[in-house]
Amino acid sequence: MKLLRLAPENTRFPFMRLRRLSYPFSALMSILAVTIFLTWGMNFGIDFSGGTLLELRAKEGPADLVELRELGDHLNIGDIEVQGFGTPSDVTVRFGLQPGGDAAQEAAVNRVRQTIGERYDIRRIEVVGPRVSGELVQSGTLGVVLSIIAVLGYLWFRFEWQFAVGAIIATMHDLLLTVGFFSVTQLEFNTTSIAAILTIVGYSLNETVVVLDRIREMMKKYRKIPTDQLIDLSVNAVLPRTIMTATTVFLALLSLVIFGGQVIRSFSLAMIWGIVVATYSSVFICSPMLIYLGLRNEGGETAKADTQSPSGKAAKASV
């Protein structure tokens, strides 16, 4: 079993000393993420930008992606996005909304169908209008905001207010970096991406609550240890569990990236990025924030061990 351990037990890493480096680094990364988002934007799928998606399968041999991309110029329907998935014969074709409303969009779909009908089977046609895409944007944004507010309220009653504020700051940090990830990679942002963001929020808060719960437990047990040393003690106590959880989730998502196909690849890649930043923020963003928010180690039992240094008997007893 020792060979399967990803982190040694009874570690004594001084995480709180690194906050003077982690905070400027995170601030810089957040500013870059916002700047890139405002400059490059995101690659919105038809769920949000509106348009038509056709799922095709070649009747003979692999799909000719080059030929399909040239349909936009031949049929005068604008840029066409062609993407293979699954087998070499499967491909998706996407093009944007046509000027002239629903009638023009339907006419464009018919022209594409007539052109490729002899060589491809049309397995699915999906059309999203601008009104529907606008409603999806509003609903997705509202869902993310409401989830954060609900979690803030829960943590406020469950823990001290400093814990709730620290958790929300860490979660917002993760969201900003995830939005920057989509902008840099230009992965298609669709309703599946909203699901990925909400999952990242849940994972980030779960990791954060584990650390906060251990900090609160240590505060009840050791009241004479300085706050920064107490937080170091708590983070080191949950470090093996944190690393093991992140590693197992990473391996599961990696298998989805490799074998899951193109349809869920953006979700899988976003989740891999999310577990990395969520694990980082629970240790280097939320935990040090408690110090800046004025959390004091008061109340609870007095430690019967050496309270001058949490790396001594008190640390061993707690772990």
Q: Which tokens go with 256?
A: 């989805």
Domain with residue 260: its CATH number is: 1.20.1640.10
Residue 305 shares a structural domain with residue 265:
yes
How much is the pLDDT for 7? 61
Say what the pLDDT of residue 34 is: 93
3-class secondary-structure state, position 231: helix
- Displacement of CA 235 from its chain's centroid (Å): 22
Can you tell me which residue has the tokens 């004594």?
Answer: 12
* pLDDT (0 to 100) of residue 184: 92
Do residues 318 and 225 lie in contact, with contact meaning Cβ atoms separated by under 8 Å?
no
Q: What is the CATH number of the domain that holds 122?
A: 3.30.70.3400
Q: Which domain holds residue 269?
A: 10-44+133-318
| Residue 3 counted as domain residue | no
- Helix, strand, coil percentages, rounded to 5, for the chain: 65, 10, 25
Q: What tens-digit pLDDT sequence spans the chain (319 residues)?
A: 455 566 667 778 888 888 889 899 999 999 999 999 999 888 877 777 777 888 888 888 788 777 777 776 677 777 677 777 777 788 888 877 777 777 777 888 888 888 877 788 888 887 776 555 567 667 777 877 887 788 778 777 777 788 888 888 888 899 899 999 999 988 888 778 888 888 888 888 888 888 888 888 888 887 778 888 888 888 888 888 888 888 889 999 998 888 876 667 888 899 999 999 999 998 888 888 888 887 776 644 433 433 344 444 444 433 3
Tell me which residue of 184, 203, 200 sits closest to 192, measured CA to CA. 200
- Domain identity same for 118 and 180: no
Pairing outcome for strands 80-84 and 90-95: antiparallel
Is 1 within the bounds of a domain?
no
Q: CA end-to-end span of the chain, whole Å?
A: 19
Residues 299, 220 contacting (CB under 8 angstroms): yes
Distance CA 101, CA 75 (A): 17
Q: What is the pLDDT of residue 182?
A: 92
CB 228 within 8 A of CB 295: no
Helix (H) / strand (E) containing 78 = none
User: What total of structural domains would you count in the chain?
Assistant: 2
Residue 219 CA to residue 248 CA, distance in Å, equals: 30
On whether the CB atoms of residues 56 and 121 are closer than 8 A, the answer is yes
Residue 91 and residue 123 in one domain? yes
* Per-residue confidence (pLDDT) for residue 318, from 0 to 100: 37
Whole-model pTM?
0.74
State both tokens at 318: 């707690």
Predicted confidence at residue 262, as pLDDT, reads 66
pLDDT the model gives residue 300: 40
Cα-trace Rg, the chain: 25
Q: For 138-256, where are the E strands, in sequence order?
A: 188-189
The set of residues, in sequence order, having a beta carbon less than 8 Å from that of 45 and lying 6+ positions away, is 94, 188, 189, 190
